[in-house]
Structure 1
Amino acid sequence: MTSGAILTLNAGSSSIKFSIYMAGDEPEERLRGEVEKIGGDNAELAIVRGDGGERRFQIGHVDHRAAMAAILAHSGHALDGETVAGVGHRIVHGGTDFTTPTRLDDATVERLAALEPLAPLHQPHNLAAVRAARSAFPSAVQIACFDTAFHRAHPWVNDTFALPREWYERGVRRYGFHGLSYEYVSGEVARIAPELRHGRVVIAHLGNGASMCAVRDGRSIASTMGFTALDGLPMGTRCGQLDPGVLLYMMDQEKMTPPEISKLLYHESGLKGLSGVSHDMRELEASGRPEAAEAIEYFVFRIRRELGALSATLGGLDALVFTGGIGEHSALVRRKVCENMEWLGIEIDDERNADHALDLAVGRTRVMVVPTDEERVIARAVNNELNAEPDR
């Protein structure tokens, strides 16, 4: 059994989520936290200890490298004198080649950088954290864990577009995302309800980024997200499913440039664009504006539509599982999704739903709320790599 500390990093454009674990048979979490407002003048570091206590620090203007230094300066006590033996990174896009946790070296980072056009909102910032961590911990094992990897066993019909086949071979295909979340939640479902281990399960990862996944025998067979993380459900600021003719119209008739369209689809659409209020479901639920209510209704409508489609792909449904920030905390969204869904065997208890209980079902189909933990999936991957090293 190996020893040492494991650091996990999940970096965005203006934030880094992190956690510290102790290696062992099963990684033991010591704390987790987040640096927010990277690149601004007033970046903030929040640290949550294992007992739930939280501390916040103002760390001024920082880039990803300086944010890493701040994380270590304020959370180094959790290492208990142990060195950081491994660092695990969430990498959103692994393309067709990266299907398992992978050691990071110069060549691998270069190959992942080539995928940045497929995930422009995430990949460059994921790799910025990789470079910062490799500089800070030159002797530590650096492991990449991919959001796309969980979906790589899809049947061909669920991955392809109806384009000339050469485009599929060139990598234009459905990849699916949120794979680390789906991996963790599907494992938890099998642990909590062993009878569902080989069942037909739809997992709804609902948050600022949102998608759904059809899982059978613990493996992904279809996902609502496609070539990029824009597809499928509407999200906080992303549009979700969109007729490609709309893009042709924007370019031809409105003379919009690719950067203008990208900004519109990634940053100004979704719940934010529909409501004109906020991308945050909590603010929409509290708002009295009709546009906020309509944004929620559209969000729910698309979830229900995809639930029906994914259930058809599975040939039936044994369980619906909610996860993610909205899925775990919005009783309103869960209730609206499940209303009048008896034809799928879905009926829930309103009181248990209001209490965010694990099991909501009163019908034949299980309906569950399972908190996700992408960081633990990453920590386990690093832990496995450390345990596999012969000199440890």
Structure 2
Amino acid sequence: MTPLILVLNCGSSSIKFALFDAAAVPLPRKPLWNGKVQGIGGPTPDFGETGVAPFTISLDPAQPYRAALTLILQRVRARLDGRRLAVVAHRVVHGGSRYFQPTRIDAGVLADLTSYVPLAPLHQPFALEAIEILLRESPELPQVACFDTGFHHTMPTVEQILPLPWDAWQRGLRRYGFHGLSYAFMATALAERHGEAARGRSIVAHLGSGASLCAMNKLESVATTMGFSALDGLMMGTRTGALDPGALLYLMEIEKLSLEEVGHLLYHRSGLLGVSGVSSEPRVIVQHEADDGEPGERARLALALYVRRIVREIGALAAVLGGLELLVFTAGVGEHNAFVRERVCRDLAFLGVALDEGRNAAHAPIISADGSRVIVGVEPTNEEWIAARDAAAVLGGVG
């Protein structure tokens, strides 16, 4: 029977899934079938899949996440058609200081990963819930965890260590970095598209609802903007990015916000949404820049701050690299928002970045002008394929 690999990417309110043909060599980058359930826990969750427009579904309000996963597994099994599900690969955001390589999951590994929930509270619990359900209901089905932190294991110690007392490092408080599956795909795709140029001093901008930058040399991570948690670095859709810790002390000591309230503010009420008051998405906020009064001013300021933080961090990473030869945008905002790319590149002219307006508007693979000293590109990411590839490797092939 033809073996298939199921990839699950579980977030707080959505589950993305993709099914790959593991019998094909090399593993195809396009899945046989993919889709997502979104709005889990909300009033109108919906289900979308390849070739089918999203439609509203009903989930058990007592256990909506379990119900969504059950629905996906039912749809997967209905599509097997004589083929077998050989392994399930999970995107797991945090592997802590122990797990860097893709790892087959058992009860012991699951217990370890559960201890890292405080490090990634928006994502870790939901991936682990799916893993736990499958371990209990289908114990014979292999599962592999693929870690977003793993790609950054190549960073030098000076980039990992935090300026805290030494025993904090010994306890595992360090800069881990995230979006590793996306950056792992970029390391493959950029080498294919740009050849030897990709092995030089490169920065990849993963700009989505979560956002980070990764500085690469020889296609390995040498520095990144996210650190101990997925709150660090760039301003994001609803997350603050880097923030003076004194501001947190003030919120808790003077304004008397509880730990829970501060956490909710940092993860859900800040970033583009918090500053603009309109949306967490740049494509929506830009439509309000011309508004009169405070709404327009807040929209303009939100986008200006968003771009400023990206430019500032690119400049810092270019300094770490000792120069810059390749800049690549990826993920939802990076791939689809030409106006964000234009504003970022305009402010990077001092590095020799020059944009071609026509190429940028067309989201071309290379959007820099012919005379630009820095190659600027747009590259779709493919985290699911990386997870499927790594899961197959862990099992030594699934044929």
1-side partners of 2:236 and 2:245: how far apart? 18
What is the letter of the counterpart of residue 27 of structure 1?
Answer: L
- Tell me the equivalent position of 1:113: 114
What is the letter of the counterpart of residue 128 of structure 2?
Answer: L
- Tell me the equivalent position of 2:35: 33
2-side partners of 1:46 and 1:55: how far apart? 6
1-side partners of 2:351 and 2:81: how far apart? 51
- Tell me the equivalent position of 2:350: 343
State the Cα distance separating 1:257 from its structure 2 match. Answer: 1.0
2-side partners of 1:79 and 1:296: how far apart? 46
1-side partners of 2:232 and 2:78: how far apart? 42
- Is the contact between residue 59 and residue 70 of structure 1 (CA under 8 Å) also seen in structure 2? no
Which runs of 5 or more structure 1 residues have no equivalent in the other structure? none
Q: Map of 1:192-207 to 2, 5 A cutoff? A: 192-207=193-208
Which runs of 5 or more structure 2 residues have no equivalent in the other structure? none
- Is the contact between residue 2 and residue 84 of structure 2 (CA under 8 Å) also seen in structure 1? no
- Tell me the equivalent position of 1:23: 22
Seen in structure 2, the aligned counterparts of structure 1 residues 373 and 80 have a Cα distance that, compared at 3 Å, is: same
Q: Please, what is the CA RMSD of the aligned residues?
A: 1.5
- Is the contact between residue 59 and residue 68 of structure 2 (CA under 8 Å) also seen in structure 1? no
State the Cα distance separating 1:41 from its structure 2 match. Answer: 4.3
State the Cα distance separating 1:186 from its structure 2 match. Answer: 1.7
2-side partners of 1:182 and 1:321: how far apart? 11
The partner residue of 1:55 within 53, 56, 66 is 53
1-side partners of 2:176 and 2:244: how far apart? 19
State the Cα distance separating 1:57 from its structure 2 match. Answer: 3.5
Deviations 1:110-151 (A, max 9, x none): 000000111111111111121233345332210000000001
Number of equivalenced pairs = 385
Q: Map of 1:118-133 to 2, 5 A cutoff? A: 118-133=119-134
2-side partners of 1:93 and 1:61: how far apart? 28
Task: Give TM-score, length-normalised by structure 2.
Answer: 0.93
Task: Give TM-score, length-normalised by structure 1.
Answer: 0.95
Deviations 1:49-101 (A, max 9, x none): xxxx2333332124232212211333445433212110000000001110100
Deviations 1:311-336 (A, max 9, x none): 01111101000001000000000000
- Tell me the equivalent position of 1:382: 391
The partner residue of 2:47 within 36, 45, 48 is 45
What is the letter of the counterpart of residue 375 of structure 1?
Answer: E
Deviations 1:271-319 (A, max 9, x none): 0001000112221122242311211111000000000000011111010
1-side partners of 2:82 and 2:381: how far apart? 29
Partner SS state of residue 9, structure 1: strand
- Is the contact between residue 206 and residue 324 of structure 1 (CA under 8 Å) also seen in structure 2? yes
- Tell me the equivalent position of 1:265: 266
- Tell me the equivalent position of 2:286: 285
- Tell me the equivalent position of 1:180: 181
1:142 correspondence with 2:143: yes
- Tell me the equivalent position of 2:334: 327
Give % identity. Answer: 45
- Tell me the equivalent position of 2:363: 356
2-side partners of 1:134 and 1:58: how far apart? 29
2-side partners of 1:75 and 1:283: how far apart? 34
2-side partners of 1:16 and 1:26: how far apart? 26
Deviations 1:231-290 (A, max 9, x none): 100111000010011111111111111101001000100000010001122211222423
